[in-house]
Structure 1
């Protein structure tokens, strides 16, 4: 695992998937209408939302790097949950001819529609839970920091696999289970102290140990999963929460409480600084990012060798 610290200008359950039933759609955690409205509201405040693009731009650059490493000239690539266009900032004509940006938020899709793009861009209002693409129609699909808001992640991955052509590739990134652990623990301790209970204020994320299994159960092969962390320093917990809202990343859990009491928030901010604060008075926020790559099966793909067919001992290699 790698850690990166971003310098900026100035809540959390884990979701475990025991099974990934084909077409299952009854696992509802998030209110997708609320998430769309949150993203619309964030993108409508153009200047503020642009100042908080730092995290999504950084992760999108890493997703684009992984796509570039594949060394293929794609005609068309689909960006699921594109938001305002974070991935398109990091692509080139050497990678693809056209990028189809898809998001549930029309405001997000249109925010930077007049900005320069290095490739042809098409924008579509698409819900990641209900993909409109025909089977065997897409060469590549990317998704950067969007699929952690999908209720049925196994079902979404199955839809992606169906839409890909044989030997087509999916490259994704989503927040992992340790994201914002500092904020989660601080809010929980404050609520226990002030209200004698705990409520979900930070959205549940998928644990990294589940992702490889989900990719395989969705029918994707040659899977790769890696994890890193990005740590951003803020003046206090309140600036962190303001930035999350400006990103459209505020809580959309169905069972969320509409408000947090002021004294609980003040207590949480004090606990955050006491437990996690930096020597310079700032507070860190950790974003765990899970990157994943999977391919649609094809007869032309290389197959793993049979178990026991190796001719060289790993022990001998390490000793040499």
Structure 2
């Protein structure tokens, strides 16, 4: 059983995602991620016979993998029944019913940012990969929605004497390489793609967040509905603090990318201490000859 802190209400998150799917999922951000995913995979000169798609809200990634010809079979793990196709597995990212060493590729697009136990989920993915299998994932993190977070916090502090968490905390890029190593991945890499979307007003942004299933599911969220006056003031602050010269409002989405490989003897390894063939004395400048 996981002992990770309960940051997100996972049951509520599943209901919110189901609502988004039923209303027509907002896929503009996911489409960008899937395109980037395929570009990254195109640099790997190999064919993956069996791939896992972990939690991607819709089947866009699975379809792209299949059409690319680089993947034989794609097995999807959908987190809600409404996202599943015939043959898909419906399961939680934190409790994956997967046999060890079953896949030689695992991907996840815009799903893992709502996992309470991210280290535990990474360990499970690592176990499901065959030796020299690749893991590639993208999820929201960093400064995502910083403008909305600041505006809501300031408005609540001004009108209600305090602020409750309204926007989720996001993982920091600096921590992710270490998480991959702890999970047992070799050759870990983490990078960020900052996407700035421009809106005519904050309400349009909130409508998009609802359409992607990204509304507030924090376990410690306030159970009181946001007062209309507070929402109006938050919108005013958003416009006052962040509006561009043309009146459009930026919304930041930091897409964090993770990649790592299941360890295998064929992979490149660092040299053991003492086995280097070049002396530092031959490389560094001779300080004794430096002019004064």
Question: TM-score, normalized by length of structure 2?
Answer: 0.90
User: 1:97 offset after TM fit, Å?
Assistant: 1.6
**Distance in 1 of aligned mates of 2:70 and 2:16:** 32
**Distance in 1 between residues matched to 2:23 and 2:279, nearest whole Å:** 60
Q: Quick one: distance in 1 between partners of 2:256 and 2:112?
A: 11
1:192 aligns with 2:166: no
Query: CA 1:315–1:230 in structure 2 vs 1: closer, same or farther (change >3 Å)?
Result: farther
Alignment partner of 1:87 out of 61, 79, 83: 61
Q: Specify which of 46, 65, 73 is matched with residue 98 of structure 1.
A: 73
CA contact (8 A) 1:38 1:248 kept: yes
Q: How many residues align?
A: 280
Q: From the CA coordinates, give the structure whose radius of gyration is larger.
A: 2
Distance 2:11 2:43 in 1: 36
Match of 2:48 among 55, 74, 98: 74
- Sort the Cα spacing of 1:315 and 1:37 in 2 relative to 1 into closer, same or farther, 3 A: farther
Q: 2 CA distance for matches of 1:301 and 1:150? A: 30
Match of 1:35 among 13, 26, 34: 13
Deviation at 1:93, TM superposition (A): 4.2
Which residue matches 2:29? 55
Contact map agreement 1:180 1:285 (CA 8 A) in 2: yes
* 1:206 lines up with 2:200 in the alignment: no
- 2:57, 2:110 within 8 Å by CA — same for their partners in 1? no
Structure-2 separation of matches of 1:135 and 1:89: 24
CA 285–162 in structure 1, closer or farther in 2 if over 3 Å, else same = same
1:285 aligns with 2:263: no
Structure-2 separation of matches of 1:106 and 1:311:
58
130, 136, 145: which one aligns with 2:95: 130
Matched, 1:215 2:190: no
1:306 aligns with 2:272: yes
C-alpha distance in 2 between matches for 1:282 and 1:158? 42
How far apart are the structure 2 equivalents of 1:222 and 1:269? 44
Q: Which structure 2 residues correspond to residues 249-268 of structure 1 after superposition, within 5 A? A: 249-258=214-223, 259-268=225-234
Write the mapping of 1:95-244 to structure 2, written as runs, cut at 5 A: 95-110=70-85, 122-244=87-209
Gaps of 5+ in 1: 1-22, 114-121
8 Å contact kept, 1:161–1:218:
yes
Extract unaligned runs of 5+ from structure 2: 286-292
8 A Cα contact 2:142 2:256, kept in partner: no
RMSD (Å), alpha carbons: 1.9
- Residue 191 of structure 1, CA deviation: 0.7
Aligned counterparts of 2:232 and 2:131: Cα–Cα separation in 1: 54
